[in-house]
Amino acid sequence: MKKHIIRKSFAAVSMLLISAVAFAQSASSSYFLEGFNQRYQLNPAFAPERPVFMAVPALSNIQVDASSSVGLANFLFESTTKPGMLTTFMSPDIDAKTFLDAMPKAAQFNVGLNMDILALGVGAKNGFTTFNLKLRNNEQINLPKELFGFMKASLANGDYLIENININTISYIEASLTHSHKIGDNLTVGLGLKFLEGIAYADLTVNEIDAQLHEDEWLVKSNGTIKASIPGAQYKLDPDNQTFDGVDGFSFSVPQSHGFAVDLGAEYDFKGLVDGLKVSAAVTDLGFIGWANMNTFATNNNEYVKFEGFNNYDVSGDNEDETMDQINDDFNDMVKMYQTGTTNQKEKVMLNATFRLGAEYALPFANWISFGELLTYRSGLWPYTESRTSICLSPCGWFDLSGNAVLSSMGSCMGLLLNLHPGGINFFVAVDRLKAEFNPQFIPLHDFGLNFSLGLNFAFGKKRDKLDD
């Protein structure tokens, strides 16, 4: 019975946080490993070590990135009236202060998928060109602490101001052409051109909810929008007041949304001045997608609606479907969105650009050992900053190991990458970030982060640094 409640309660919370997945691109732990073929995705100045690189279709590079600032323990508690029984945070048994004191400033959830479909690269000592086709998906959620406080408040005294609710999802196909070129003995530059085909985009943004208590009900005024470009989607409107009521179904439709982005990068080798020192910088995903058939819905910012509060839920989690339907209905009653645009609208949406700055130093007496520092900043709804300190070991020509310590806006963690690249094949497995505490059902109890990737590729020819031998 307890397992049943745990599973359903976490499912309810997941639905409240509403579908999600971040920024996956390629393993950051590989940034300083020359034997790693996909480094050009982090910095276009980098190139595979052999003159011919071929991806195993759909297996070349698969990366999943998931993180959350909350976990099961934030929403599920032991009942104070029924010892040994579990109940959700909405139960009257659970004191609001106890629940809110354990919550972070915002419940943030982020998931990303990055999968190479095809890749082919050819080059020589001073230049390398790579074609890549991949699928990318990014989803982000930001629910402020005040929203949960309002849900818990029922008809308690006081007014509430809730700001910055956002749910965003984007999926697209990316075709890129990347060229890395060495200039002189020290400088290498890179340029990547990306042509994008949008699959689906949706964004819910509620800038502000003003809730004022009046006797036995709330008066609520909201300021928010929904924007969606989903080919073949059928949007449902409430027949009584024509407000947005979800997506009623899908029909096949060819995507008509296109975009463009660039990657820029450079690396400078200080050999002759400080042997073993290399400094690099890059910006990736600098671009946009022009979404066609954009539907827009918005609140009437001057409209106050009557709202009776979030109450009368099944706090045991035994009727999961009914509970989630009720939460969805209550939210729609509180934040009413009216259709404001037609399917003929077009809108450009910027991608989340990533900026990287790296420095690596190889020991002069053992150049197979190097230390690296990589600073990363990623823009977007949930801006992300990271400092990754690595030690890289390449004791022979076909085996690499990178271990790193990470300090980021999502906390601290460790990373590890194993890269095997004998002539002809390249296999890697990496965990860029691992921070989690699970219950027996493998559900995260607290904030967590996981970035996992693996891949299998083919690489042929003599290594580029030995072509003159």
The pLDDT assigned to 196 comes to 97
Pair of tokens at residue 56? 């195993």
Spatial distance between the Cα atoms of 87 and 94, rounded to a whole number of angstroms: 8
Spatial distance between the Cα atoms of 122 and 74, rounded to a whole number of angstroms: 51
Q: What does the mean pLDDT of the chain come to?
A: 84
Spatial distance between the Cα atoms of 366 and 362, rounded to a whole number of angstroms: 7
Mean pLDDT for the stretch of residues 191-202: 95
**DSSP per position, 313-327:** --TTSTTHHHHHHHH
CATH number at 382 reads 2.40.160
Give the total number of structural domains in the chain: 1
61 by Cβ neighbours in 10 Å (0-12 / 13-18 / 19+) ranks as buried
Q: In three state form, how does the secondary structure of 237-253 look?
A: ECCCCCEEEEEEEECCC
**Sign of the four-CA dihedral 344, 164, 380, 171:** negative
Residue that wins the pLDDT comparison between 369 and 336:
369
Residue 315's contacts (CB-CB under 8 Å, 6 or more residues apart) are 87, 88, 90, 91, 92, 93
Residue 150 has pLDDT above 70, yes or no: yes
Mean pLDDT for the stretch of residues 326-337: 77
Q: Note down the domain range covering 171.
A: 2-466
pLDDT tens-digit series, residues 199-229: 999 999 999 999 888 777 788 899 999 998 8
| Proportion of the chain above pLDDT 90, given as a percent | 40
* Residue 126 binned pLDDT confidence (cut-offs 50, 70, 90): confident
Whether residue 275 contacts residue 289, with contact meaning beta carbons closer than 8 Å, is answered with no
Residue that wins the pLDDT comparison between 192 and 253:
192
Residue 52, amino acid: V
Say what the alpha-carbon torsion angle 138, 458, 59, 397 is, to the nearest 10 degrees: -70
pLDDT tens-digit series, residues 62-93: 999 888 888 888 888 887 777 777 787 888 88
pTM above 0.75, yes or no: yes
Spatial distance between the Cα atoms of 178 and 261, rounded to a whole number of angstroms: 12
Spatial distance between the Cα atoms of 140 and 353, rounded to a whole number of angstroms: 15
The pLDDT assigned to 313 comes to 63
The pLDDT assigned to 124 comes to 81
